[in-house]
Structure 1
Amino acid sequence: MKTHILAFTLSITVCFGARAELKWDKTEVELHPTPADKQAVGHFTYQNTGKEPVHFKSVHASCGCTTAQTQKDLVPPGDKGEITATFNIGDRTGTQVKTVTVESDDPTNPKTVLTLRTIIPQQLEITPTFVFWKQGEKPDPKTITVKVGKEFTVNHIKVTSSSPDFQAKVEEAGKGEFKIDVQPKETNNLVASTLTIQPEDSQKVFYATARITNAPAVQ
């Protein structure tokens, strides 16, 4: 009887010991693309440290701007591989965080979320992006400051107003910095304008808003 119990115990131990287990080198990657890059690619490497193969059930990204691919659907014991996440930058700037969800038959960790953090250099930093005057206020000019990102070279910017009720004048304020003085013709009427700010020799545009309001605006 004791022999049967011992054999049964050993059988359970062997069954639990022979399992798949996927180990990730890291589940978060931070990328710093250059201004010329159109994509940012992150590599998430793994190894099956268990005794059984691991099957990937699904690999999907959190948004349409990111794609994810795995080298293989089946990972034998001891085998290594990687999942590649590709983020299409487009017109995005600043910090972009995207995720890739990986589902497998790994009993210890059936779902893993991989994080791709992309720091995209910003060509222009505009402060503030909104200027306003109260109705009846003296129409003095108000200033918008434009700073050029350190990864870029911009010698001139062009500013246009969508409304003839506002004028915008650009001046250089130092290396890599510009000052835009925005001035309404008068402040009796509630009008607004979109200011289009464009660096020279660039298709990329930035925007600011000027408005006459009957109450203080919240920025």
Structure 2
Amino acid sequence: MKTRLLIFTLSIFLGVAARAELKWEQNTIELHPSAGDKTAVAHFKYQNVGTIPVHFKSVKASCGCTTTQSQKEVVNPSEKGEIVATFTIGDRTGQQLKTVTVQTDDPNPTQAMTILTLKADITPALEIKPPVVYWQNGEEPKPKKISVKAAKEFPAKEITIKSNQNFESKVEPGKAGEWTIEVTPKDTSHPIGTALQIQTDYPKEAPKSFYLNVVVTTPPGLPPAVRPNVANTPAPKTATPPASPAGGVER
């Protein structure tokens, strides 16, 4: 009886002692890439503080713009390592949040899956104000001005803007790294919208381009100038049907 109790107690002790556990230094990393950076890279470091090896089953990013790389597939007790998450910035600006889901063979479900979060606050290379310009249907097609300012980390010296068949545009240089764009619609009689391309000269090997949205839109309800005056609109005339011959049938 004592032997059985000893074996049972020992098995419980070994079950508790034999555990796998990855301890992460940080589950969330905040990055502040410069305006000219192409990628933002986060290093999620870990250590196996358990007593048995940990096997990675999968490491998946939340989107195709983020790639992941793990140094090893098996992490032995006391070993350290890291998972590297690389976020491709592209044309994205502002707050970006990407996640990496790590799945291990830890028998404890609360330890088997870990969500790593990469936060990137991306300074726009060009500050475009306003980013969208509107005209209403029937509005006089007057030019509207847009201010453009390059970030310190994005030393563009010149920008150009491409007009199209519906909008005319031109660039007026100001202080270093600052410009004013003037856009004029050719016609505001019907709704239309497009994105005008702003081309920079930086970086030299692959100059970046940006877009300004310009829209002629229908307002919510016709403006008074074009709303029909119902009070003064004559009533439609009612046609009088021709009389049928007496006692006959109209053919």
Whether TM exceeds 0.5 here: the answer is yes
Give how far 1:10 is off.
Answer: 4.5
| 1:64 is aligned to 2:60 | no
Q: Is 2:168–2:186's contact at 8 Å kept on the other side of the alignment?
A: yes
Q: Which amino acid in structure 2 is aligned with residue 208 of structure 1?
A: L
| 1:96 is aligned to 2:100 | no
Q: Which residue of 2 aligns with 1:122?
A: 124
Q: Is 1:170–1:179's contact at 8 Å kept on the other side of the alignment?
A: yes
Q: Which residue of 2 aligns with 1:39?
A: 39
Q: Which residue of 1 aligns with 2:8?
A: 8
C-alpha RMSD over aligned residues: 2.6
Give how far 1:46 is off.
Answer: 0.8
Identity of aligned residues (%): 53
1: CA distance, partners of 2:41 / 2:33: 9
Q: Is 2:105–2:112's contact at 8 Å kept on the other side of the alignment?
A: yes
2: CA distance, partners of 1:185 / 1:89: 36
Q: SS of the residue aligned with 2:128?
A: strand
Q: SS of the residue aligned with 2:72?
A: coil
Give how far 1:30 is off.
Answer: 2.3
Q: Which residue of 2 aligns with 1:24?
A: 24
Change (3 A) 1:132 1:107: same
Q: Which residue of 1 aligns with 2:237?
A: none
Q: Which amino acid in structure 2 is aligned with residue 184 of structure 1?
A: P
Give how far 1:93 is off.
Answer: 3.2
Q: Which residue of 1 aligns with 2:147?
A: 145
CA offsets per residue over residues 22-53 of structure 1, 9 Å max, x none? 11111122233345543332211111111121
Q: Which residue of 2 aligns with 1:200?
A: 201
Change (3 A) 1:16 1:77: same
Q: SS of the residue aligned with 2:16?
A: helix
Q: SS of the residue aligned with 2:162?
A: strand
How many pairs does the alignment contain? 216
CA offsets per residue over residues 128-160 of structure 1, 9 Å max, x none? 222222222222221212121121112322112
1: CA distance, partners of 2:216 / 2:36: 39
Q: Pick from 151, 160, 164 the counterpart of residue 162 of structure 1.
A: 164
Higher strand share: 1
Q: Which residue of 2 aligns with 1:188?
A: 189
TM-score, structure 1 as length reference: 0.84
| 1:177 is aligned to 2:181 | no
Give how far 1:103 is off.
Answer: 0.6
Change (3 A) 1:213 1:89: closer
Change (3 A) 1:90 1:187: closer
Give how far 1:167 is off.
Answer: 2.1
Q: SS of the residue aligned with 1:161?
A: coil
Moved over 6 A (4+): none
2: CA distance, partners of 1:38 / 1:48: 33
Give how far 1:192 is off.
Answer: 4.1
Unaligned runs of at least 5 residues, structure 1: none
Change (3 A) 1:117 1:138: same
2: CA distance, partners of 1:71 / 1:145: 47
